[in-house]
Amino acid sequence: MRSPRWRKTSRAAAGLALVAAVVFGGCDLNEDADLERGRNLFLAKCGTCHTLAEAGSTAEIGPNLDAAFAAARAEGNDADTIEGVVQSQIENPRPAEPDDTNTYMPAELVTGQDAENVAAYVASVAGIPGIKPPTAPGGPGGQVFAQNGCGSCHTLEAAGTTGTVGPDLDQNLPGQSAKEIEESIVDPNADVVSGFQPDVMPQVYGSQIAPEGLQDLIEFLMTCAGDPQNKACQ
């Protein structure tokens, strides 16, 4: 899926924190939200633009969500307040200027219950001091796979993921070379698997994942795709 682009300004993060301090205070929007689905959706659709420590995302295209909401938490605003702000931003992002329409978050990246799930997830983790992402199986490469939301789109038994938006990695990766796997990550439109569409997988991982992390990810996929019982994948 294409990654949205935001204007990179500290004012955007400050604006989110300010709204958090004054809007939606104390309202309990969605007690039954699916936080796990919200996390997976965040990784797939939001983590390519936003930093959020618990998700392991470090993108700087949009506001740093930890920075945006840490001050609100410190001032006593609760998760319900933050949830309301996030949901409002998803439904109605700041309007684009006529001459700068490609640097703003598009409206309704997620909708309905999915928007509520994402908002509830962000509200449960954003701005909490010292929070870290959960440890994923498969060592450093498995952690890169998890933190970049790969499992929200791909099935990989070793990672415990069952995504169907993209190809089943257990079926498609065994036998591929490191170079072929790298190309599928950094240039996903170069060779699209039959039955899937181009321009679905984000094309930012070549710059977003550090070179060392990319090599860890490739090694993890070469070792574990189709071989989940390999001890290196545990």
pLDDT tens across 171-198, in order?
Answer: 999 999 999 999 999 999 999 999 999 9
Contact 209, 148 (CB under 8 A): yes
Same-domain status, 118 and 144: no
pLDDT for res 20: 38
Cα–Cα distance, 50 to 184 (Å, whole number): 23
Residue ending a domain, choose from 96, 125, 154: 125
Is 223 found in the same domain as 166?
Answer: yes
Q: Which of 125, 150, 179 is a domain's end point?
A: 125
In the numeric block, the tokens 């993108």 are attached to: 59
| pLDDT score of 103 | 55
Contact 166, 196 (CB under 8 A): yes
Q: Which of 69, 91, 125 is the last residue of a domain?
A: 125
Please report where in the chains the tokens 């618990």 appear, as a residue: 54
Number of domains in the chain: 2
Q: Helix, strand, or coil here: 152?
A: helix
Residue 160, SS3? coil
216 within 8 A of 144, measured Cβ to Cβ: yes
> How high is the pLDDT of residue 30?
61
Q: Token pair for residue 162? A: 């069952």
- The H or E element that residue 135 is part of is none
Looking at the fold, whether 208 and 151 belong to one and the same domain comes out as yes
Same-domain status, 104 and 154? no
- Tell me if 64 is assigned to some domain: yes
Residues 21 and 86 both lie in one domain: yes
Residues 14 and 116 in one domain: yes
Cβ(203)–Cβ(108) below 8 Å: no
Half-sphere exposure of residue 188, counting CA atoms within 13 Å on the CB side?
17
CATH of the domain at 90: 1.10.760.10
The pair of three-digit structure tokens given for residue 102, joined into one six-digit string: 């490609």
Structural domain for 80, as ranges: 10-125
What pLDDT score was predicted for residue 44? Answer: 83
pLDDT in tens, the chain (234 residues): 334 444 433 334 444 444 433 333 344 456 789 999 999 889 888 888 889 999 988 888 888 999 999 988 999 988 999 999 999 999 888 765 555 555 578 878 899 999 999 999 999 999 999 999 999 999 999 999 998 889 889 999 999 999 899 999 999 999 999 999 999 999 999 999 999 999 999 888 998 899 999 999 999 999 999 999 999 998
| Position 4 in a domain | no
Helix (H/G/I), strand (E/B), else coil: 52: strand
- Is there a domain that residue 210 lies in? yes
Rounded Cα gap, residues 212 and 220, in angstroms: 12
Shared domain for 93 and 161, answered yes or no, is no
Whether 87 maps to a domain, the answer reads yes
The pLDDT, as a whole number, for residue 202 is 87
Q: What is the CA 60 to chain-centroid distance, rounded? A: 12
Q: What is the pLDDT of residue 169?
A: 98
**Residue 228 included in any domain:** yes
% helix / strand / coil in the chain, to the nearest 5? 50, 5, 45
Q: Does residue 1 form part of some domain?
A: no
What's the pLDDT at 98?
56
DSSP 8-class letter at 131: -
| DSSP one-letter code for 58 | E
Q: Which two tokens stand for residue 180?
A: 């072929």
